[in-house]
Amino acid sequence: MQKRTLGNSDLDVSAIGLGCMGMSFGYGPPMDKPAAIALIRMAVERGVTFFDTAEVYGPFTNEELVGEALAPFRGQVVIATKFGWDIDPETRERRGGLNSRPEHIKVATEGMLRRLKTDRVDLLYQHRVDPGVPIEDVAGAVKELIQQGKVQHFGLSEAAAQTIRRAHAVQPVAAVQSEYSLWWRKPEGDVLPTLEELGIGFVPYSPLGKGFLTGTIDASTSFDSSDFRNTVPRFTPENRQANQALVDLLGRIAERKQATPAQIALAWLLAQKPWIVPIPGTTKRHRLEENLGAAAIELTTDDLREIETAASQITLHGARYPEHLEQMTGR
């Protein structure tokens, strides 16, 4: 597996990481724990060194899973996790909305260290910008944790360009994580240019459009009742039908490249900037192999131009989140 460096940091990671959320949260029933551990360890064997989790995934169960799975490989891998929600440590239930108060960040980090079975978090993101806490205070709290050796690098998730600038002035931001794919290109507006200017890496989550860009979902697909895609406007049957044109485009390119639509979607992301590291998630071994195979696919200038031209003529239908969640992004 090729390596990439996240911006100007010294954070070197595999060109494709592994998003671990779906193994225990969000996309239906949790995986059987031994199977999930085996899948994560298979990723390590295949050269993946970048693993993504968060305290809210579960809550807490995903961090525990990742910590147990990666304990034998701790010196070989980079673990990223996220704080920012108000979670009761005793009941493991969310008490409300966001909480990025400095004192809470420090308590949350101690819990992460225990669950991840480690003495430091390699990359600690603020999961969502908390409008009730100045970003300078958040950056200052993480700076203290870095000085104490409990955290190695600071990151932000779904933050606006001005927020990134303000945080970076207090504590250098190593990476920003936001949704980005051919299915959601808003970061191209002012976030990606800001990251390039400041030397910050970019970590696209949902790089396969929450599974849609794999070509395995159509208007007739039904999801488990616990799958959050049931609440996503872009996943209504009529919107899936309307958005099929984007998958068809990927399929045409994939056929020519002897690849899959998912691999083309990931290869397209890798071709955008050398400091972009997507983190596709999966619960299946063959999908992990497929995703990692994208790193070996080269899209030529002509390929990229063809994708750009065709994609510009496709109007995507439906919001990417329900309104109350969308309001938490881009702050």
Task: Calculate the CA dihedral of residues 16, 21, 26, 30 and round it to 10 degrees.
Answer: 120
**Helix or strand or coil: residue 170?**
helix
Question: Rounded CA gap, 285 and 39, in Å?
Answer: 6
Q: What is the DSSP letter of 30?
A: P
Show the beta-strand stretches assigned E in the chain: 3-5, 12-14, 18-19, 50-52, 78-83, 85-87, 94-98, 121-126, 151-157, 173-179, 201-205
Backbone torsions φ then ψ of 43, nearest 5 degrees: -60, -40
Give catalytic status of residue 205 as yes or no: no
Question: Rounded CA gap, 269 and 273, in Å?
Answer: 8
Amino acid at 120: R
Q: Please, are residues 81 and 55 in contact by the beta-carbon 8 Å criterion? A: yes
Question: Rounded CA gap, 34 and 114, in Å?
Answer: 20
Terminal-residue alpha carbon distance, the chain: 34
Question: Rounded CA gap, 323 and 233, in Å?
Answer: 9
Q: 209: number of CA atoms within 13 Å, CB side?
A: 30
Question: Rounded CA gap, 305 and 271, in Å?
Answer: 12
Catalytic residue among 57, 125, 180, 205: 57
**Count of helices and strands (H, E) across the chain:** 11, 11
| Active site positions, annotated | 57
